[in-house]
Amino acid sequence: MLIQVKASAGSGKTHALTGRFIDLVLGASRDLPRACGDASDGAYAVPDILAVTFTNKAAAEMRDRVIEALKRLALDPNPAQPGKRATARRELESLLVHAQRLGIRTIDSLLYLLARVFALELGLRPDFEPSFDDRAILDDLYERLCAGLPADPTLARQFSEAAGALIDHTKNFLPTVSFRDQLLTVTARLLADPDCGDAAPEALRLGLARRLGELQNAADALLRAIEAEKLSGNAHFLTFLRKCRDCDNAAALPSSAFAAKASLAECLNKASRDKVTPALDRLHAAMTASHDVCRRQGPVLLAASRLAPFLALARRLAADFPAYLARMRMLPQSQWGRLVAARLAGEDGVPDAWCRMGSGLAHILVDEFQDTARSQWEVLRLLALESLSRGGSLYLVGDVKQAIYGWRGGDAALFDEAPADPELTQVAEPIFDALPHNWRSAPAIVGANNRFFGRLSDPAAAQQTTEALLGEGLAAAAPELAAAIGRAFAGATQEVRPDYHGPQGHVRVTALNAEDPDTYHDAARGALLTLLKAELIPRHGPGGVAVLTRTNPQAARCAAWLVAAGIEVVTENSLRLADHPLIGQLAAMLAFLDYPPDSLAFWAFVSGQELFGDLSGIDRRELAGWLAGLPRRASLSLAFKARWPEVWQRLIRPYLRQSGVASPYDILRSVVSGYRLIERRPADEAFIRRFLEIAHLAENDGRASISAFLEFWNDKGEGETVPQPENAGAVRVMTIHKAKGLQFPAVVVPYHHFHTDNKNPALVTADFPEGRLLVPDQPGLGLDYARRRARELAEQLHLLYVAWTRPEIELHAFVPGHGPLRDKASYPLPRAMAGLFAGLGHDPADGDPIRIGAPPETPAAAPAACPTPPPEPALVEPGPPMDWLPRVKVFRNVARDIRQSMRFSEKQRGELAHAAAEAFARAGFDPADPAPAAARAVATALGPARLDPGLRAALAQELADMLVWLAGLDALRPAFVAGLPERELLDADGSRHRPDLFAASPEAILVADFKTGRPATDHEAQVSRYVGLIRRLPGLADAPAAGFLLYLDRRECRPVEIRS
C-alpha cells in the first residue's frame, strides 16, 4: 500500500502515525526480521517496521507513545481481542531485552546507518565518525592547499586569477565576501553536484563576445538603414543605438526604454513614422532581440566567468576530499544522502543493504514528509520501492501548508510527486487520506483559519494571492504557483474535535498604521505591551503566552520591550550559555587558574557579583577604587592577595593549588560545590548544570587540560544553550520556525511584513550553449529563477499558516495598515493577506479590528489560605574544595546527574516533598500531635537519597514543618481520615489518572492534589478532571464536590471551583 495522509495543523498527526505503527506491530507474524530470507508471502517482524522523523524530539515522542500504547493493550483487563493483548505483552517483553527492535529513528540516523553499512565501498573504515560541520573540513583542506602555494606556480596563478576576479567584481572599497568564503562556498556546491560548472573560461569569454557582436551588428545595421531612408529618429533613441553599436563591455550594457518598444515607428519622430517598411521593422526586431539576450544572459555569463577561477581551485579541494575523509575517518552529513543513494541504486543495492543490516524493511512510515530533501527522498524511494514490491507499505504523512524549511533543502513538491511516481504506482495503488479534525484549537480559532486560508482553495483567490506575492517581475511563475497553492490549501478547512467543551476562543486582527519599519516598531511595542499587561497575562499567566516572529532580530527586539516593561520573558538567546554573566565569570576563573598573570581574566572573575562578589563581601565600588589606584603593569592577582589576604586564602588559593592536577570538570565541580552556587543562585541552576556537562563531555573528548577546554569553549561555546524549560512561568518569544510543532494557550504575532530580498543568492546551475554554468541565482536565468523565487515567497504564506495555527484559545495578530509596508514590493505578504481578509469580514486597515469569538474570562485570584513561605536560608560559608573528588573518580562513569553530591535541584526538592506528603497521607497521623507521624514520613522520603549530613538535617526540618502545616488544614481533614491516596482512576480511553488524595461518598467528594513550584493554568483543570472521573463512579454522579491545590513549598492551598 502507498498511503498519503494530509495532516493539517493540530489534526493529530503523531496520533495517526502511532496508530498505524501499533497496527503494524500487532500484525507482525514473524519473530525474526526478513533480512536476506525469502519474504514473498508478505510476512514480517517488528524490526521490519521503520518510522522516520526529522528531529530527535519527534522520534522520542513517537517512541514513548508507541510504548505507552503497547502497555495499555498489554494491561487491558477486558480486551476486545485477547490476541492483541498477548501480542502487545510479548513485544513489550522483547523490547526490554532488545530495545533496537523498535525501528523509530530520524532520517539522519537512517542515512548514517546505511553509510556505515557501505563504508568500505565508500572508501572509509567501518568505524568512521560522522561530521556535522562541513566548514571545519573545508577550512582544513583550504589551509593544506595554501601551504602548497610557494612550491606550485600553477596554484599561485590560479589564486591570483581568483583574487583578481573577486576584486574586479567589487563595487565598493572592499569585497562583500572574503576570498576564503567564496572558494569554500563554491567547493561545497561542487561536492553536492560534481557536474556543476563544466563550461570552460574561454567558452564563456567567446560567448559574451558573440552576443555583444550580434548586438553591435544589429544596432549598426539599423542605424545605416535609418540614415539610408532619411528617417528622423528620436534623439535619445539614436544615442541609444550608437551606444549599443560601440559597446564592447557586457558589464556596461546601455539601457533605455526604447529597447522595449514593439515597433520602430514608436522610436521615430512623427513625420517619419509612416515611412517604416517591413524590412526596417525586421532590423528593429533583430536589434531589440539581441539587446534582450545581452541584458538577460550577459550578467549570467559574467557571473560564471568570475566564478570560473574559483571553480578551478574548488576542483583541487574536491579532489583531495575523499582521501582526507579516509585519512581522518569521517564522513560529513551533507554527503550521506548522495553517496547512500548511489550505492542503493546499484545492482542488488537495497537487498544487499538489508542483508548487511540483518533486517529488511516491510513497512516505512515518514513523518513531516513535506520537509524532505530530494537527496533524502532518493534513499527513501529506493527502500520503499523494494518494500512495496514485496507486499509492504509506504505511509507518508505531511502538510504542504506547513512546509517552511525550503532554505535547508526541504522540497514540498515531493508531497504530491511521491504518490504519482510511476515506479511506485506500478507496484502499489496510491491511497489518499486526510485527518479532518483539529484537536488543538478552540472553535473561534479553527473557524477563523478556515475562513481565511480556506479561500485559497478557490482558483481565483489563489491566483489573486499569487499575483500579490510575486509582483510583475516574477509573473512567469504565477500560473504554477497558483496551482500549487490551490492544491496545498484544498481541504484546508477543519472540524472542531467532537468532544470539545472548552472556551470558544478569541481571534483579533489589528492594523497598525506606520509609514516605515521604525514607526511600526513603536506602534507594535505599545500594542503588544498593552495587550500582555491588560489581557493575556491576567488571563493565561506569563507562561501561557507566546510571541512569534519571523526573524531572530525581531524576537530580540520584542524580548527587549518585555524586559524593559518588567515582564518575565524566555527567548532562545536568553538561554545561551556564553551570554550568561555567571558562566562568563566561571570561564574567566578557569582562564585565571590556567595562567595567573592574566589580569583581564582575574578582573572578570573577581568583579563579577554573581560568582565572587556576593560571597567575598567586597563592595564593588571599593574594588573599583582599589583597581584605579594600582600602578601600571601591576599584577592584579598578587595585589589582590596583598589587599584582601583572608578572601584570597578562603576563596581563591584552594582552587589555584588544584589547577595543575585537576581537570576543568573537577575544578568547576569544586567551585560550584565550594561556592554553593546552586544554593545561592537557584534560578541559574540549568545554566550551571549545562556548563558542567559541557566540561565533562569535553574532557571525555580528550580536552582534559584547562587550556584545551578554554580553546574548545571559545570556539564552540557561542552556540551552546540550556534546554527550554517546560513551565518557564514567562512569556516565550521565539521565531515561527522554532514554534513548529508547539502550541500555546495564547499567541501574539506582531509582525507580518516579512521582508524579501535576493542580496545573497544561492549558487545554482544553468545550461547554456557554452556548457553548464555555476552562477548566483539571478533574473537572467528566466523561468527557472522565477520558479525558485516563487517557492521562497510561498513559504511566507506557509509561515503565516504555521503562526496562526499555534494557539489553543487566543490569537492576536498585528498587521500593517495602508501605506508603504503594504505597498512596497519588498513586503509581499501584507498585499497577499489583503485579499484574504474578505473571508474574515473586512480588512482591518479599513476600520475596526477583526474580532471573532469572545475573550475568555479573567480568573479571579484565589484567596491565600496559608501562611507566607518561610524566608530563604542564610548563605553558608564555602566548604573545602575537592572533598568530593574520590567519589566522583569512582562513580563518574555511571552517574547521570553531574551534581549528585550537591544540594538537590528544585525539581528534586519537589519530588521529595511529594513523597513525604504521600507517605504522611497514607500512614495517617494524630491531629492533636502530627509531628511524630511527620518525622516518620520525612524519614521514609529521605531514606534512599545520598545527602551530606547538614543538608539532610535541613531538608528533614523543612519537610517536617511542611507536613505539620498540611495537617492543620481543617478543610482537608475528611480526606486525611477516610481518603484514598494515590488511587488510580481509568477514563473512557483506558488512560490512568492518579490524584494524590481523594475521599468520595454520596454526601461529598473531596480531591486534594500536591504541587510544587509556580501555579500553572492546567493545575485546576487537572483537579476538575479528577472530580469528573470520580463522579462517574456508582452513586456519586450528584455528590457535591470540592477540590484543593496544595503548593507544598509555598505553604499555599488554593480552592478549585468545581462545576456541577
Determine the Cα–Cα distance for residues 926 and 431; give it in Å rounded to an integer. Answer: 67
Q: Which sign does the torsion angle of CA 295, 299, 300, 302 carry?
A: positive
State yes or no: 359 annotated in a binding site: no
| C-alpha grid cell, residue 909 | 526538592
With contact defined as beta carbons under 8 Å apart, do 708 and 695 qualify? no
Determine the Cα–Cα distance for residues 947 and 176; give it in Å rounded to an integer. Answer: 59
| C-alpha grid cell, residue 88 | 502487545
| C-alpha grid cell, residue 298 | 550577459
With contact defined as beta carbons under 8 Å apart, do 334 and 188 qualify? yes
DSSP 689-716: HHHHHHHHHHHHTT--SHHHHHHHHHHH
With contact defined as beta carbons under 8 Å apart, do 137 and 330 qualify? yes
Spatial CA neighbour of 1021 closest among 993, 1049, 999: 993
Determine the Cα–Cα distance for residues 75 and 94; give it in Å rounded to an integer. Answer: 16
Determine the Cα–Cα distance for residues 640 and 645; give it in Å rounded to an integer. Answer: 8
Determine the Cα–Cα distance for residues 386 and 539; give it in Å rounded to an integer. Answer: 54
Percent composition of the chain: helix, strand, coil (DSSP 3-state, to 5): 55, 10, 30
| C-alpha grid cell, residue 110 | 537512517
State yes or no: 7 annotated in a binding site: yes
With contact defined as beta carbons under 8 Å apart, do 50 and 62 qualify? no
| C-alpha grid cell, residue 274 | 509612416
Determine the Cα–Cα distance for residues 380 and 402; give it in Å rounded to an integer. Answer: 21
Spatial CA neighbour of 506 closest among 926, 750, 813, 139: 813
Determine the Cα–Cα distance for residues 47 and 27; give it in Å rounded to an integer. Answer: 12
| C-alpha grid cell, residue 819 | 501605506
Determine the Cα–Cα distance for residues 407 and 419; give it in Å rounded to an integer. Answer: 24
Determine the Cα–Cα distance for residues 828 and 835; give it in Å rounded to an integer. Answer: 12
Determine the Cα–Cα distance for residues 363 and 383; give it in Å rounded to an integer. Answer: 10
Contacts for 869 with CB less than 8 Å, ≥ 6 apart: 1049, 1050, 1051, 1052
State yes or no: 13 annotated in a binding site: yes
Spatial CA neighbour of 453 closest among 805, 737, 741: 805
State yes or no: 663 annotated in a binding site: no
Q: Is 233 helix (H, G, I), strand (E, B) or coil?
A: strand
| C-alpha grid cell, residue 985 | 482512576
State yes or no: 14 annotated in a binding site: yes
Query: What's the residue count for the chain?
Result: 1060
Determine the Cα–Cα distance for residues 812 and 815; give it in Å rounded to an integer. Answer: 10
Contacts for 776 with CB less than 8 Å, ≥ 6 apart: 303, 761, 762, 763, 764
| C-alpha grid cell, residue 125 | 573504515
State yes or no: 11 annotated in a binding site: yes
Spatial CA neighbour of 494 closest among 431, 443, 432: 443
| C-alpha grid cell, residue 178 | 572574503
Spatial CA neighbour of 1028 closest among 1060, 980, 989: 1060
The 10 Å Cβ neighbour count of residue 710 is: 21
Determine the Cα–Cα distance for residues 596 and 589; give it in Å rounded to an integer. Answer: 10
User: If phi over 0 gives left and psi between -120 and 50 gives alpha, with beta otherwise, what is residue 617?
Assistant: left
Determine the Cα–Cα distance for residues 287 and 241; give it in Å rounded to an integer. Answer: 9
| C-alpha grid cell, residue 799 | 509561515
Q: Is 92 helix (H, G, I), strand (E, B) or coil?
A: helix
Binding site for ATP: residue ranges? 7-14
Binding site: residue ranges? 7-14
